[in-house]
Amino acid sequence: MEYQKIIDEIAREIKPEKFPGEVAEYIPELAKVSGDKFGIHMHCIDKGHYCHGDSNEKFSIQSIAKVFTLSMAVRQMDEDLWERTDVEPSGDPFNSLTQLEYESGIPRNPLINAGALVICDVLLSQMKNPRAELLQFVRKLVGSDDIHFDETVAKSEAKHGARNAALVSFMKSFDNIHNKTEDVLDLYFHTCSLSMTCKELAQAFMIYANRGVILETGEQILSGIQTKRINAIMQTCGFYDEAGEFAFRVGLPGKSGVGGGIAAVHPGYYSVAVWSPKLNPKSNSALGMRVLELLTTKTGLSVF
Protein backbone atom coordinates (compact mmCIF):
# COMPACT_ATOMS: atom_id res chain seq x y z
CA MET A 1 0.00 0.00 0.00
CA GLU A 2 1.25 3.50 -0.83
CA TYR A 3 1.24 4.87 2.72
CA GLN A 4 3.27 7.99 1.93
CA LYS A 5 0.87 8.91 -0.86
CA ILE A 6 -2.08 8.48 1.51
CA ILE A 7 -0.45 10.56 4.26
CA ASP A 8 0.38 13.34 1.80
CA GLU A 9 -3.20 13.26 0.57
CA ILE A 10 -4.51 13.60 4.12
CA ALA A 11 -2.16 16.52 4.74
CA ARG A 12 -3.57 18.31 1.68
CA GLU A 13 -7.13 17.82 2.91
CA ILE A 14 -6.64 19.24 6.40
CA LYS A 15 -5.69 22.80 7.32
CA PRO A 16 -4.16 22.90 10.82
CA GLU A 17 -4.35 26.69 11.12
CA LYS A 18 -8.09 26.62 10.43
CA PHE A 19 -8.93 23.63 12.62
CA PRO A 20 -10.95 24.28 15.81
CA GLY A 21 -9.61 23.75 19.31
CA GLU A 22 -7.43 25.39 21.96
CA VAL A 23 -3.98 24.54 23.31
CA ALA A 24 -3.84 23.37 26.95
CA GLU A 25 -3.57 26.61 28.90
CA TYR A 26 -3.78 25.21 32.44
CA ILE A 27 -0.15 24.10 32.11
CA PRO A 28 1.63 27.36 31.21
CA GLU A 29 4.50 25.72 29.33
CA LEU A 30 2.06 23.94 27.00
CA ALA A 31 0.24 27.21 26.35
CA LYS A 32 3.41 28.56 24.71
CA VAL A 33 3.31 26.01 21.87
CA SER A 34 1.90 27.14 18.52
CA GLY A 35 -1.49 25.59 17.77
CA ASP A 36 -0.59 25.35 14.08
CA LYS A 37 2.01 22.61 14.57
CA PHE A 38 1.22 19.33 12.83
CA GLY A 39 3.23 16.16 12.40
CA ILE A 40 2.56 12.50 11.70
CA HIS A 41 4.80 9.45 11.56
CA MET A 42 3.74 5.92 10.61
CA HIS A 43 5.98 2.92 11.37
CA CYS A 44 5.00 -0.33 9.65
CA ILE A 45 5.69 -3.90 10.72
CA ASP A 46 7.84 -4.32 7.58
CA LYS A 47 10.07 -1.55 9.03
CA GLY A 48 8.79 1.09 6.58
CA HIS A 49 8.60 4.72 7.79
CA TYR A 50 6.23 7.36 6.40
CA CYS A 51 5.84 10.91 7.68
CA HIS A 52 4.71 14.48 7.08
CA GLY A 53 5.08 17.88 8.70
CA ASP A 54 6.63 18.50 12.12
CA SER A 55 7.19 14.80 12.78
CA ASN A 56 10.77 15.27 14.01
CA GLU A 57 10.04 18.11 16.44
CA LYS A 58 10.03 17.27 20.15
CA PHE A 59 6.87 17.93 22.16
CA SER A 60 5.53 17.10 25.61
CA ILE A 61 3.82 13.72 25.32
CA GLN A 62 1.97 14.14 28.63
CA SER A 63 -0.50 11.29 29.31
CA ILE A 64 0.77 9.14 26.43
CA ALA A 65 3.61 8.30 28.83
CA LYS A 66 1.08 6.52 31.07
CA VAL A 67 1.25 3.60 28.65
CA PHE A 68 4.99 3.28 29.30
CA THR A 69 4.67 3.38 33.10
CA LEU A 70 1.78 0.91 32.88
CA SER A 71 3.97 -1.43 30.82
CA MET A 72 6.74 -1.19 33.41
CA ALA A 73 4.31 -1.95 36.23
CA VAL A 74 2.86 -4.91 34.33
CA ARG A 75 6.39 -6.27 33.90
CA GLN A 76 6.91 -5.98 37.66
CA MET A 77 3.58 -7.27 38.99
CA ASP A 78 1.76 -8.92 36.09
CA GLU A 79 -1.80 -9.97 37.13
CA ASP A 80 -1.39 -8.72 40.73
CA LEU A 81 -1.42 -5.16 39.41
CA TRP A 82 -5.18 -5.29 38.80
CA GLU A 83 -5.81 -5.42 42.55
CA ARG A 84 -4.67 -1.78 42.67
CA THR A 85 -6.53 -0.41 39.64
CA ASP A 86 -9.55 -1.48 37.62
CA VAL A 87 -9.69 -1.73 33.82
CA GLU A 88 -13.07 -0.11 33.08
CA PRO A 89 -13.74 3.10 31.08
CA SER A 90 -14.34 6.04 33.40
CA GLY A 91 -16.92 8.12 31.54
CA ASP A 92 -15.78 11.07 33.67
CA PRO A 93 -13.05 13.72 33.25
CA PHE A 94 -9.50 12.39 33.55
CA ASN A 95 -8.87 14.18 36.88
CA SER A 96 -12.21 13.35 38.53
CA LEU A 97 -12.41 12.59 42.26
CA THR A 98 -16.00 11.44 42.17
CA GLN A 99 -15.60 7.77 41.29
CA LEU A 100 -12.88 7.21 43.89
CA GLU A 101 -15.40 7.95 46.64
CA TYR A 102 -17.83 5.32 45.39
CA GLU A 103 -15.15 2.74 44.56
CA SER A 104 -13.11 2.84 47.77
CA GLY A 105 -10.03 4.52 46.32
CA ILE A 106 -9.55 2.08 43.43
CA PRO A 107 -9.13 4.03 40.15
CA ARG A 108 -11.43 3.05 37.32
CA ASN A 109 -8.44 2.40 35.00
CA PRO A 110 -4.66 3.03 34.86
CA LEU A 111 -4.83 5.67 32.10
CA ILE A 112 -6.77 8.34 33.98
CA ASN A 113 -4.82 10.50 36.43
CA ALA A 114 -5.79 8.56 39.56
CA GLY A 115 -4.81 5.25 37.96
CA ALA A 116 -1.52 6.62 36.65
CA LEU A 117 -0.69 7.93 40.13
CA VAL A 118 -1.25 4.45 41.56
CA ILE A 119 1.06 3.08 38.85
CA CYS A 120 3.72 5.60 39.91
CA ASP A 121 3.29 4.41 43.50
CA VAL A 122 3.80 0.82 42.34
CA LEU A 123 7.00 1.74 40.51
CA LEU A 124 8.33 3.58 43.56
CA SER A 125 7.78 0.45 45.64
CA GLN A 126 9.29 -1.90 43.05
CA MET A 127 12.30 0.09 41.79
CA LYS A 128 15.25 1.92 43.33
CA ASN A 129 15.17 4.80 40.83
CA PRO A 130 11.97 4.70 38.75
CA ARG A 131 12.67 8.01 37.00
CA ALA A 132 15.96 6.70 35.64
CA GLU A 133 14.43 3.32 34.81
CA LEU A 134 11.58 5.01 32.91
CA LEU A 135 14.08 6.87 30.74
CA GLN A 136 16.05 3.68 30.19
CA PHE A 137 12.86 1.79 29.25
CA VAL A 138 11.66 4.35 26.70
CA ARG A 139 15.15 4.78 25.25
CA LYS A 140 15.33 1.04 24.68
CA LEU A 141 11.96 1.04 22.89
CA VAL A 142 13.05 3.91 20.63
CA GLY A 143 16.62 2.73 20.13
CA SER A 144 18.01 6.14 21.06
CA ASP A 145 19.45 7.85 24.15
CA ASP A 146 18.01 11.21 23.05
CA ILE A 147 14.91 10.88 25.24
CA HIS A 148 14.69 13.24 28.20
CA PHE A 149 12.38 14.82 30.73
CA ASP A 150 11.57 18.48 30.12
CA GLU A 151 12.32 19.90 33.55
CA THR A 152 10.59 23.19 32.75
CA VAL A 153 7.36 21.34 31.96
CA ALA A 154 7.72 19.16 35.07
CA LYS A 155 8.06 22.25 37.28
CA SER A 156 5.09 23.87 35.55
CA GLU A 157 3.01 20.74 36.20
CA ALA A 158 4.05 20.67 39.86
CA LYS A 159 3.17 24.33 40.34
CA HIS A 160 -0.36 23.68 39.06
CA GLY A 161 -0.78 20.15 40.39
CA ALA A 162 -3.15 20.67 43.32
CA ARG A 163 -5.81 18.42 41.80
CA ASN A 164 -3.36 15.54 41.40
CA ALA A 165 -2.16 16.06 44.97
CA ALA A 166 -5.78 15.77 46.09
CA LEU A 167 -6.15 12.49 44.18
CA VAL A 168 -3.05 11.03 45.86
CA SER A 169 -4.16 12.11 49.34
CA PHE A 170 -7.65 10.74 48.81
CA MET A 171 -6.37 7.35 47.63
CA LYS A 172 -3.88 7.29 50.49
CA SER A 173 -6.83 7.44 52.88
CA PHE A 174 -7.99 4.14 51.34
CA ASP A 175 -4.45 2.65 51.65
CA ASN A 176 -4.03 2.52 47.87
CA ILE A 177 -0.95 4.79 47.96
CA HIS A 178 2.00 3.43 49.93
CA ASN A 179 4.74 5.97 49.32
CA LYS A 180 5.16 9.63 50.21
CA THR A 181 2.75 11.92 48.40
CA GLU A 182 5.55 14.20 47.19
CA ASP A 183 7.49 11.26 45.74
CA VAL A 184 4.46 9.94 43.84
CA LEU A 185 3.73 13.39 42.44
CA ASP A 186 7.34 14.02 41.45
CA LEU A 187 7.48 10.79 39.44
CA TYR A 188 4.08 11.51 37.88
CA PHE A 189 4.96 15.05 36.82
CA HIS A 190 8.25 13.89 35.32
CA THR A 191 6.48 11.08 33.49
CA CYS A 192 4.14 13.58 31.85
CA SER A 193 7.08 15.85 30.95
CA LEU A 194 8.72 13.30 28.64
CA SER A 195 9.64 15.02 25.38
CA MET A 196 9.53 13.01 22.15
CA THR A 197 8.94 13.36 18.42
CA CYS A 198 6.20 11.65 16.42
CA LYS A 199 8.86 9.35 14.95
CA GLU A 200 10.15 8.38 18.39
CA LEU A 201 6.64 7.76 19.67
CA ALA A 202 5.76 5.57 16.71
CA GLN A 203 8.96 3.58 17.24
CA ALA A 204 8.26 3.16 20.97
CA PHE A 205 4.66 2.06 20.35
CA MET A 206 5.70 -0.59 17.85
CA ILE A 207 5.96 -3.14 20.68
CA TYR A 208 2.16 -2.88 21.09
CA ALA A 209 1.76 -3.67 17.38
CA ASN A 210 4.37 -6.45 17.49
CA ARG A 211 3.22 -8.65 20.41
CA GLY A 212 5.56 -7.01 22.89
CA VAL A 213 8.72 -7.44 20.79
CA ILE A 214 11.07 -4.61 19.77
CA LEU A 215 10.97 -4.80 15.98
CA GLU A 216 14.59 -3.78 15.37
CA THR A 217 16.26 -6.00 17.99
CA GLY A 218 13.82 -8.86 18.50
CA GLU A 219 13.89 -8.40 22.29
CA GLN A 220 10.70 -9.51 24.08
CA ILE A 221 9.62 -6.65 26.36
CA LEU A 222 6.08 -7.79 27.17
CA SER A 223 4.45 -11.19 26.80
CA GLY A 224 1.73 -11.68 24.22
CA ILE A 225 -1.01 -11.67 26.88
CA GLN A 226 0.44 -8.56 28.57
CA THR A 227 0.49 -6.76 25.24
CA LYS A 228 -3.08 -7.83 24.54
CA ARG A 229 -4.26 -6.48 27.88
CA ILE A 230 -2.51 -3.12 27.44
CA ASN A 231 -3.95 -2.75 23.92
CA ALA A 232 -7.42 -3.53 25.28
CA ILE A 233 -7.05 -0.85 27.96
CA MET A 234 -5.89 1.67 25.34
CA GLN A 235 -8.88 0.80 23.15
CA THR A 236 -11.45 1.30 25.92
CA CYS A 237 -9.75 3.88 28.16
CA GLY A 238 -7.06 5.70 26.16
CA PHE A 239 -8.99 8.89 25.37
CA TYR A 240 -10.46 9.98 28.68
CA ASP A 241 -14.25 10.16 28.38
CA GLU A 242 -14.05 10.14 24.56
CA ALA A 243 -12.74 6.58 24.13
CA GLY A 244 -15.98 5.43 22.52
CA GLU A 245 -15.86 8.27 20.00
CA PHE A 246 -12.26 7.44 19.09
CA ALA A 247 -13.10 3.76 18.64
CA PHE A 248 -16.13 4.73 16.53
CA ARG A 249 -14.25 7.16 14.29
CA VAL A 250 -10.72 5.70 14.18
CA GLY A 251 -10.88 2.09 15.35
CA LEU A 252 -7.41 1.68 16.89
CA PRO A 253 -6.02 1.17 20.40
CA GLY A 254 -4.18 4.32 21.38
CA LYS A 255 -3.46 7.02 23.92
CA SER A 256 -3.73 10.78 23.79
CA GLY A 257 -2.04 13.55 25.77
CA VAL A 258 -2.93 17.18 26.45
CA GLY A 259 0.27 18.21 24.66
CA GLY A 260 -1.67 17.40 21.47
CA GLY A 261 -0.12 14.04 20.75
CA ILE A 262 -1.86 10.75 19.93
CA ALA A 263 -0.10 7.39 19.56
CA ALA A 264 -2.03 4.41 18.20
CA VAL A 265 -1.44 0.92 16.86
CA HIS A 266 -2.95 -1.62 14.51
CA PRO A 267 -1.55 -4.89 15.92
CA GLY A 268 0.33 -6.82 13.27
CA TYR A 269 0.43 -3.87 10.86
CA TYR A 270 1.70 -0.50 12.12
CA SER A 271 2.11 2.09 14.84
CA VAL A 272 1.39 5.76 14.23
CA ALA A 273 1.87 9.02 16.10
CA VAL A 274 0.32 12.37 15.30
CA TRP A 275 0.82 15.77 16.93
CA SER A 276 -1.42 18.82 16.75
CA PRO A 277 -1.66 20.92 19.96
CA LYS A 278 -5.22 22.26 19.57
CA LEU A 279 -7.51 20.24 21.84
CA ASN A 280 -11.24 19.57 21.62
CA PRO A 281 -13.50 19.97 24.71
CA LYS A 282 -12.59 16.42 25.82
CA SER A 283 -8.85 17.33 25.89
CA ASN A 284 -7.92 15.25 22.84
CA SER A 285 -6.19 16.62 19.75
CA ALA A 286 -9.01 17.72 17.44
CA LEU A 287 -6.93 17.55 14.27
CA GLY A 288 -5.16 14.40 15.43
CA MET A 289 -8.40 12.49 15.73
CA ARG A 290 -9.49 13.62 12.27
CA VAL A 291 -6.15 12.67 10.70
CA LEU A 292 -6.26 9.18 12.20
CA GLU A 293 -9.88 8.78 11.13
CA LEU A 294 -8.85 9.60 7.56
CA LEU A 295 -5.86 7.26 7.80
CA THR A 296 -7.90 4.21 8.82
CA THR A 297 -10.63 5.09 6.32
CA LYS A 298 -8.29 5.56 3.36
CA THR A 299 -6.13 2.52 4.14
CA GLY A 300 -9.03 0.33 5.25
CA LEU A 301 -6.81 -0.84 8.13
CA SER A 302 -8.30 -0.66 11.61
CA VAL A 303 -9.06 -3.32 14.21
CA PHE A 304 -12.73 -3.34 13.19
pTM of structure: 0.96
Largest CA distance in the chain: 54
Task: For 11-21, write each residue's pLDDT tens digit.
Answer: 999 977 777 88
Determine contact, residues 154/193, Cβ cutoff 8 Å.
yes
- Asked if residue 178 is part of any domain, the answer here is yes
Q: How far is CA 252 from CA 38, 133, 235, in A?
A: 20, 28, 6
Q: Give the range of the structural domain holding residue 219, as residue numbers without chain letter.
A: 3-299
Task: For 106-135, write each residue's pLDDT tens digit.
Answer: 999 999 999 999 999 999 999 999 999 999
| Number of domains into which the chain is organized | 1
Going by pLDDT thresholds of 50, 70 and 90, the confidence category of residue 92 is: low
Decide which of 27 and 293 is more confident. 293
According to the model, what pLDDT value does residue 1 have? 86
Task: For 251-279, write each residue's pLDDT tens digit.
Answer: 999 999 999 999 999 999 999 999 999 99
Determine contact, residues 10/298, Cβ cutoff 8 Å.
yes
- Asked if residue 136 is part of any domain, the answer here is yes
- Asked if residue 119 is part of any domain, the answer here is yes
Residue 47 has pLDDT above 90, yes or no: yes
**Number of residues written out for the chain:** 304
According to the model, what pLDDT value does residue 95 have? 64
According to the model, what pLDDT value does residue 268 have? 97
- Span 10-35, mean pLDDT? 87
Cα 268 to Cα 294: distance, rounded to the nearest angstrom: 20
Task: For 139-172, write each residue's pLDDT tens digit.
Answer: 999 999 999 999 999 999 999 889 999 999 999 9
Indicate which CATH number applies to the domain containing 58. 3.40.710.10
- Asked if residue 304 is part of any domain, the answer here is no
Q: How would you class 248 by CB atoms within 10 Å of its CB: exposed for 0-12, middle for 13-18, buried for 19 or more?
A: exposed
User: What crossing angle do the helices spanning 198-209 and 130-142 adopt, rounded to 10°?
Assistant: 90
Number of DSSP helices (H) and strands (E) in the chain, helices first:
13, 8
Q: How far is CA 286 from CA 91, 140, 244, 256, 266, in A?
A: 19, 30, 15, 11, 20
